[in-house]
């Protein structure tokens, strides 16, 4: 046990009771490893009487569905990871107008919409609305062509909220780039 404490950098006077060490260090580390690694960790306590003298660690690979969950979690921001692990994460409701535009552009499958190649009037009226609202009276399709040229290959990678935010920012700066207030 002293070797484990030394390896973990835990001074001998901290967590003197194994129950504290288990609760404060080992179980927390196990939960995080199980959430973020491509394997699970288990341990077995070996005792002499009531005292834990050794730990035997066992590492097992995760199945395919669990690995996919791990990869999804690693793609998320680290904020809220503990709450997601413990199942206490809250959901946030979005204002209806933003939700409508976001819902129109975000699909949870691999076929998420990208910025349309043709006219926004017919292919993406929700993007046309953003262009009209933030870009003024200029031709929205002309702005869309300039946006496509400005973004180049990066445009194919944008989806959902990132696409909306990028398009909105471009539209807002359109008038200032054209010498208008």
Last residue of a domain, one of 47, 68, 86: 86
Which residue would you say has higher pLDDT here, 137 or 88?
Answer: 88
Asked, for residue 173, whether it belongs to a domain, the answer is yes
pLDDT at 111: 41
- The burial class, CB within 10 Å (0-12 / 13-18 / 19+), for 128 is buried
> pLDDT for 3-56, tens place per residue?
888 888 999 899 888 999 999 999 999 999 999 999 999 999 999 999 999 999
Mean pLDDT for 153-165 is 82
Regarding whether 115 and 59 lie in a shared domain, the answer is: no
- Select from 164, 104, 101, 176 the least CA-distant residue to 138: 176
Asked, for residue 91, whether it belongs to a domain, the answer is no
Regarding whether 54 and 113 lie in a shared domain, the answer is: no
Residue 110 in this model has a pLDDT that exceeds 70: no
Asked, for residue 52, whether it belongs to a domain, the answer is yes
Q: How far apart are CA 85 and CA 78, in angstroms?
A: 11
Q: How many domains does the chain have?
A: 2
Mean pLDDT for 164-179 is 72
Residue 102 in this model has a pLDDT that exceeds 60: no
Find the domain containing 60 and state its range.
2-86
Regarding whether 76 and 6 lie in a shared domain, the answer is: yes
Q: How far apart are CA 128 and CA 141, in angstroms?
A: 8
Asked, for residue 63, whether it belongs to a domain, the answer is yes
pLDDT at 41: 94
Which residue would you say has higher pLDDT here, 164 or 101?
Answer: 164
Residue 128 in this model has a pLDDT that exceeds 90: no
Residue 126 in this model has a pLDDT that exceeds 70: yes
Mean pLDDT of the chain: 80
Which CATH number is 52's domain given? 1.10.10
Asked if 21 contacts 4 with a C-beta cutoff of 8 angstroms, the reply is no
Regarding whether 81 and 7 lie in a shared domain, the answer is: yes
Regarding whether 9 and 78 lie in a shared domain, the answer is: yes
Beta-strand runs (E) in 19-161? 39-48, 51-61
pLDDT at 44: 95
Regarding whether 55 and 106 lie in a shared domain, the answer is: no
Assign 9 to helix, strand or coil. Answer: coil
The whole model's pTM is what?
A: 0.48
The pLDDT confidence band at residue 166, using thresholds 50, 70 and 90, is: confident
Last residue of a domain, one of 65, 86, 107: 86
């Amino acid at each position: 046990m002293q070797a484990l404490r030394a390896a973990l950098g835990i001074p001998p006077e901290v967590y003197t009771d194994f129950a504290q060490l288990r609760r404060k260090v080992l179980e927390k580390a196990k939960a995080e490893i199980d959430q973020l690694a491509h394997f699970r960790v288990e341990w077995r306590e070996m005792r002499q009487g009531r005292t834990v003298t050794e730990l035997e660690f066992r590492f097992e690979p995760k199945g395919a569905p669990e690995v996919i969950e791990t990869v999804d979690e690693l793609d998320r921001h680290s904020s809220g990871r503990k709450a997601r692990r413990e199942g206490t994460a809250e959901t946030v409701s979005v204002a209806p107008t933003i939700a409508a535009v976001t819902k129109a552009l975000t699909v949870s499958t691999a076929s998420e919409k990208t910025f349309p190649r043709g006219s926004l009037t017919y292919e993406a009226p929700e993007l046309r609305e953003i262009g009209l609202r933030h870009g003024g009276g200029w031709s929205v399709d002309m702005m869309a062509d300039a946006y496509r040229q400005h973004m180049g290959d990066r445009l194919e990678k944008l989806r959902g909220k990132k696409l909306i935010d990028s398009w909105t920012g471009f539209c807002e700066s359109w008038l200032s780039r054209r010498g208008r207030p």
